[in-house]
Structure 1
Amino acid sequence: MRPSASSVSSRDRATPPRIYFIPFPTPGHALPMSDLARLFASRGADATLVLTRANAARLGGPVARAAAAGLRIRIHALTLPAEAAGLTGGHESADDLPNRELAGPFAVAVDLLAPLFADLLRTQRPAADAVVFDGVLPWAATAAPELAIPRYAFTGTGCFALSVQRALLLHSPQNGVASETEPFLVPGLPDAVRLTKSRLAEATLPGADSREFLNRMIDAESATAGWVVNSFADLEQRYIEHYEKATGKPVFAVGPVCLVNGDGDDTMERGRGEEAAAEAVRVLEWLDTKPARSVVYVCFGSLTRFPSEQVAELGMGLADSGANFVWVVGDKNINAPPQMPEIDDAAGRGLVVRGWAPQVAVLRHEAVGAFVTHCGWGAVTEAAAAGVPVVTWPVFAEQFYNEALVVGIAGVGVTMGAERGYVWGGEATGGVVVGREVVAERVRSALADEVLRRRAGEIRERARRAVEAGGSSYEAFAPLRGRQRSPAHSPVDPRLSLTEHWASGRGMSPVNGLDVYLVSDRRRVLGGMGGSSAAPGKGPAMCPPQQAASKVATHPPRRSGGREALTPPSCEHLRHGRMRSKQP
């Protein structure tokens, strides 16, 4: 049963719940966790974001502005025990590692954060009422166990991928096929999902080095009170329910958490502070010169390192497509050539970013018509929130599972056709997966696909309704408010019910019996989406207080597509997207 008002102590009613958030130290995990902490603070919690010093420097700006606006939020920085782990070079974030040889020492250093985090929980006053920890930090589930603090796992992916992973581990259908490319059915899911061994996360394969770590993550589940997920009901409602039933623990889908970012400095600096802001101005001013929906944005996250041959094929394909493009090569990709004649020939049509790109701001710009992505879950939810169709190019981990959702079930993307991924850290020897002709054809197709654009626009409106008062993500906070520990520090009942997400009947109706078959690189399902088109409310409740929204951004107003200059950021801008028009 859901907790009643009488079950919450007088202290709980008088003071906000104090919640600690700790992500794995890399941008793909730290960014959504930072958004989540600010989201909780905007709903009345007292939030402490625990980061390594490098990530604290990167993410400090938005948190400081939220605190200055009156939210109860702060960063507590921990020094990564690099020397004790044999890690040299001062690396405190996984994306800074120059090679995979340092991944082992880095993982050891991250594990050595466990006693530091436990000491933090023991010594802070007032004491923590709950911990939201990154699912890939299993030690955070049991740090300082004598405190009996409820722990919630924040997953780096959605419930669809979690459900696929669970089914693969329970039933091992991948062991019954004769080759890497033979398709098999993943059993026990609401849809007929077919994969191949070449598309599986490394940890699901027999003898994988990462299997032991995956087992640690699974063992940590028993100590959790539930799952907090960066997702929303209209994107994967049946899989939210499926995973909750499969694990016996509640799932709180509160996303897309990127919508907590307004249209000013928070979005411009997201991920790299002032470095990101300077690059944001350059990229967004370039986008201002392009027609609506004419640009393909290409980014593979902070960890992907393509081999030089694949980088060249991608660059030539973008040049051959005839489309405008923003291509984020990154500053750590040693396989990216400093000069590419094909890109030079596309002068005026292409912009290569060799540092950090302001991804949320770019995706909100109305000039962007498609997004070539590795299908990291953060990128998937950011594209959904912006209403941008995606061209999926998974690389490793659970990214092929996310592709199956995006292309086969949600119908907001097309696949680039990668038949296999790369082993993280071993991409340099992985060869060419997708040729230039395919890149050019898929980019042109995605930009021209009106059906894809319409579906992406529908998902955007559903994402924004989800975070408004009465929406599924907004209401997901209701049971969390009653899940603080009691004054006696006794554990809470982990089986308390979720908010009923579908009481309003506004959910998307997936195609019944859908066969998600991604062996053919041209497969895409074009089934319709159900659900009403009720008018949205007055803006997402996760928006920071109006006093924060009314602050004028430090960056000058810009025009887009002949529009008048932007006014200061506000909840209204957040609801509709910074640059993108409301209709697809």
Structure 2
Amino acid sequence: MGAEPQRLHVVFFPLMAAGHMIPTLDIAKLFAAHHVKTTIVTTPLNAPTFTKALNTTTTTTIDVEVIPFPNSNEADGIPEGIENFDQFTSNEMAVKFLKATTLLQQSLEQILEKHKPDCLVADMLLPFATDVAAKFNIPRLVFHGTNYFSQCVTHSMIKYEPFKTVSSDDEEFLIPYLPHEVKLMKSQLPDMMRGDLDMDMDIVNSEWMEIFVRAMEAEAKSYGVIVNSFHELEPEYADYYRNVIGRRAWSIGPVSLCNRENEAKFQRGKDSCIDEHECLNWLNSKKPNSVVYICFGSLAQVSNSQVEEIAMGLEASEQDFIWVLRGSNTKNIEEFEKRVEGKGLIIRGWAPQVLILDHEAIGTFVTHCGWNSTLEGLSCGVPMVTWPVFAEQFYNEKLVTQVLETGVGVGAKEWNRMVEGIKWEDIRDAIRKLMVGEEALELRSKAKKMKELARMAVEVGGSSYCDLSSLIQELSSYNNATTYARD
């Protein structure tokens, strides 16, 4: 009789950015709940994001392995003590940071040598992970942090370059061969894609493109892709991704739903400047569907003038609200804060977003359309005012407003990491459209339906539960076959 197969061991290696680390932790929890041994690899200053949240979960054991971030002599231009993508405000520094992450390869190899895991799940923007996994003869799974829809849009953009059919930045063009009619403007595309892809671009954009192309090549050679989505949300795009683009993929989301207790929801991410009970007490004092929640994620910056426009728009909408403000741009906000006391709650810094969105008082979510936030909004059944800023957020907006029809746009037209240029009247009108009248009821009913489908997907027997189970089964078979081949 052969030796009994060992318990499956998966190592997770997320990009050092809140929007990548938080869902990776949730994915690790899901694997651990399926009795898989799980280890997360990160750097010293990012470790608390994991250890703090793990201290509140008594049911799952997840190990955290800490590897040193390259020092400032090794990492060109990265100041000492900076280890997270969220700390950069320029594209140039972001590119330097991604280049610095390639220096983590040796440390990652040492971890794999020590643990001898059966699989490596690594972020799309850490493409060297495919080579590392091949060296240890184990499968590498890619984690994107986004959905099928935006992957399909990106594929169509690169392959067919439809933006070349328009002459101006604000003229719409159709994205070809997608299951739905989706239109975009050139101004809503990333800088690196706005011009002709084969033309000389400025250095930062061409470096971005280089990183992106390398990531896509590494993904094509990988074992497959884990997607934080669920089949019922975007079935045509999951099929397109698998059959047209030709990727193996497993939908295992919404991964945020693994946090069932309020405490677990509150502990996700960084420390909040608001107490869990203070936040819940404020929400408990409000009627169902009566509060607007506004937040732009961890990377976007909001200009001072836009802060003032948002304040005027919120006040003119006459709705109760929770507004998350990051950074120092709180000029003139103190007076506004006093004026709206009781009606508006301003949270400075990090907010317990899932805890807030999941509360029955929330009626609308004004969002930058980052995928984590968008999916959290959908899985809590909250209709959205879409206000995309950069990355693939303009694509996510189209999914919400045109495909799922669970939101309305505020009118953002410019791909730019700085949130600016939207007038208070447009903010007021978009909010009122989702909070008052017939259209609001219709959008809310579609959003609530999405919430039901999301919850069913992650329950035992649901589509995401089954996808995760079959992936774990496949990895176990792969591991056993490889073990027997070595024996």
Q: What's the TM-score, normalizing by structure 2?
A: 0.91
Unmatched segments (≥5 aa) in structure 1? 1-8, 493-584
- Structure 2 equivalent of residue 416 of structure 1: 410
Secondary structure at the aligned position of 1:451 is classed as helix
- Structure 2 equivalent of residue 314 of structure 1: 310
Work out whether 1:147 is the aligned partner of 2:145: no
Question: Cα distance 1:228–1:15, how it changes in 2: closer, same or farther (>3 A)?
Answer: same
Partners of 1:98 and 1:158 in 2: CA distance: 25
Report the Cα offset of residue 100 of structure 1: 5.4
Q: Letter of the aligned partner of 2:169 in structure 1? A: E
- Structure 2 equivalent of residue 135 of structure 1: 124
Aligned partner (choices 410, 419, 440) of residue 428 of structure 2: 440
CA contact (8 A) 2:273 2:347 kept: no
Larger helix proportion of the pair: 2
Report the Cα offset of residue 393 of structure 1: 0.3
Aligned partner (choices 280, 292, 308) of residue 276 of structure 2: 280
- Structure 2 equivalent of residue 232 of structure 1: 230
Report the Cα offset of residue 99 of structure 1: 5.5
Q: Letter of the aligned partner of 1:453 in structure 2? A: R
Question: Cα distance 1:297–1:94, how it changes in 2: closer, same or farther (>3 A)?
Answer: same
Report the Cα offset of residue 347 of structure 1: 2.1
- Structure 2 equivalent of residue 261 of structure 1: 259
Report the Cα offset of residue 122 of structure 1: 1.9
Work out whether 1:80 is the aligned partner of 2:59: no
CA contact (8 A) 1:63 1:74 kept: no
Mapping 1:376-391, distance limit 5 Å: 376-391=370-385
CA contact (8 A) 1:168 1:186 kept: yes
Mapping 1:427-466, distance limit 5 Å: 427=418, 432-448=420-436, 449-466=440-457
Partners of 2:70 and 2:243 in 1: CA distance: 39
- Structure 1 equivalent of residue 169 of structure 2: 180
Report the Cα offset of residue 396 of structure 1: 0.2
- Structure 2 equivalent of residue 245 of structure 1: 243
Aligned partner (choices 184, 204, 213) of residue 193 of structure 2: 204
- Structure 2 equivalent of residue 334 of structure 1: 328
Work out whether 1:293 is the aligned partner of 2:289: yes
Partners of 1:196 and 1:438 in 2: CA distance: 19
Larger RCO (CA within 8 A; separation ≥ 6):
1
Partners of 1:203 and 1:63 in 2: CA distance: 38
Report the Cα offset of residue 146 of structure 1: 2.1
Work out whether 1:106 is the aligned partner of 2:100: no
CA contact (8 A) 2:262 2:355 kept: no
Work out whether 1:483 is the aligned partner of 2:479: no
Q: Letter of the aligned partner of 1:348 in structure 2? A: G
Question: Cα distance 1:217–1:10, how it changes in 2: closer, same or farther (>3 A)?
Answer: farther
More off after superposition, 249-258 vs 207-216:
207-216
CA contact (8 A) 1:226 1:251 kept: yes
- Structure 1 equivalent of residue 198 of structure 2: none
- Structure 2 equivalent of residue 168 of structure 1: 157
- Structure 1 equivalent of residue 184 of structure 2: 195
The percentage of aligned residue pairs carrying the same residue is: 35
Question: Cα distance 1:297–1:162, how it changes in 2: closer, same or farther (>3 A)?
Answer: same
Partners of 1:491 and 1:327 in 2: CA distance: 56
Mapping 1:539-554, distance limit 5 Å: none
Partners of 2:38 and 2:14 in 1: CA distance: 13
CA contact (8 A) 1:159 1:240 kept: yes
CA contact (8 A) 1:63 1:75 kept: no
Work out whether 1:90 is the aligned partner of 2:88: no
Partners of 1:491 and 1:270 in 2: CA distance: 40
Report the Cα offset of residue 185 of structure 1: 1.0
Question: How many aligned residue pairs are there?
Answer: 469
Q: Letter of the aligned partner of 1:165 in structure 2? A: T
Question: Cα distance 1:100–1:129, how it changes in 2: closer, same or farther (>3 A)?
Answer: same
Partners of 2:81 and 2:332 in 1: CA distance: 26
- Structure 1 equivalent of residue 16 of structure 2: 25
Q: Letter of the aligned partner of 1:369 in structure 2? A: G
Secondary structure at the aligned position of 1:420 is classed as coil
Cα deviations by residue, 1:354-409 (Å, 9 ceiling, x for unpaired): 11100000001111111000000001111111111111000001000001001111
Q: Letter of the aligned partner of 1:350 in structure 2? A: G
Aligned partner (choices 96, 100, 110) of residue 119 of structure 1: 110
- Structure 1 equivalent of residue 50 of structure 2: 59
Question: Cα distance 1:53–1:321, how it changes in 2: closer, same or farther (>3 A)?
Answer: same
What's the C-alpha RMSD, in Å, of the aligned pairs?
A: 2.2
